[in-house]
Amino acid sequence: MSNPRAAMLVIGDEILSGRTRDANMYHLAGALTKIGVDLAEVRVVADDAPAIVAAVRALSDNFDVVFTSGGIGPTHDDITADCIAEAFGRSIDVRPDARKLLEDHWRPRGVEITEARLRMARIPEGAVLIDNPVSVAPGFTVENVHVMAGVPSVFEAMVASVLPSLTGGTTLLSESLRIIRPEGDIAGPLRDLAQEYADLSFGSYPFSQNGIYGANVVVRGSEAPRVSEAMTRLAALFPDA
């Protein structure tokens, strides 16, 4: 049996203008190689609807699985979700469960839920949401296309959520904890915990916001009680964070 063949579509002007050097392609290529999926083609297109729609259709038709990165944020040039809907002839609207994810995350933080932010809850009809342990706004899967954020830490977290479904392995469950500590303080205790729970995977996705440094730590595993147990231990390690 030959390996599944994957393609990637990078959406956005940052790389084409030379402002940003690619990181997501490099990350995905390495992650797919590790699990025996061949990344066979990558395309990079601008924030241009006809170009995105044409590329999504071509790649979805020609490859087993497609990953997109970029264009699912709150600004007017974030048009990926609408383009995916168009490419597959599906309707798109703000979806209640996605909206609730955003509201539950932002309300306690006093963040106003503007119309722009609500764009991030626009999901094509029939899509499956992809967990975003870093900044909550979800990615989504339509047919064989996984639609993910362009910010590298979010992209990487979403890739980790999606990859288990590719290998035919058991689907992984995840829980995440937001820890307000510099990642350097988290690393040591987290490594010890990961050694103790060798059957689980531990990911740390650092952030800084308004001068506050922290990380979203994600625990993944196939058995819910194990994941919960490890998460309880993790929380106990950082009681006031």
Q: What are the residues binding a second copy (CB under 8 A)?
A: 15-18, 21-23, 25-33, 38-46, 48, 51
Q: Taking the complex as a whole, how short is the minimal distance between the CB of residue 34 and a second copy, in angstroms?
A: 8
Based on CB atoms, which residue is closest to a second copy, 46 or 92?
46
Q: Residue 7: which H helix or E strand, with range?
A: strand 5-11
**Closest separation in Å from C-beta 31 to a second copy:** 8
Decide: helix, strand or coil at residue 224: helix
Say if CB 135 and CB 154 are below 8 A apart.
yes
What are the residue ranges of helices labelled H in 13-107?
Answer: 13-16, 24-34, 49-62, 80-87, 96-106
Residue 127 Cβ vs a second copy, minimum distance, rounded to whole Å: 26
Smallest distance, Å, CB 51 to a second copy?
7
Q: Residue 26 or 167: which CB sits closer to a second copy?
A: 26
Nearer to a second copy, 23 or 237 (CB): 23
Question: Taking the complex as a whole, how short is the minimal distance between the CB of residue 239 and a second copy, in angstroms?
Answer: 39
How far is residue 51's CA from residue 32's CA, in Å, rounded to a whole number? 25
**Minimum CB distance to a second copy smaller for 30 or for 169:** 30
CB nearer to a second copy: pick between 59 and 219: 59
* Cβ atoms of residues 100 and 136 within 8 Å: no
Contacts of 72 (CB under 8 A, 6+ apart): 78, 80, 81, 120, 137, 139, 147, 148, 149, 150
Name the minimum Å distance from CB 207 to a second copy. Answer: 23
Residue 157 vs residues 35, 81, 151: alpha-carbon distances, Å: 16, 19, 10
What DSSP string describes 41-63?
EEEEE-S-HHHHHHHHHHHHHHS
Nearer to a second copy, 41 or 229 (CB): 41
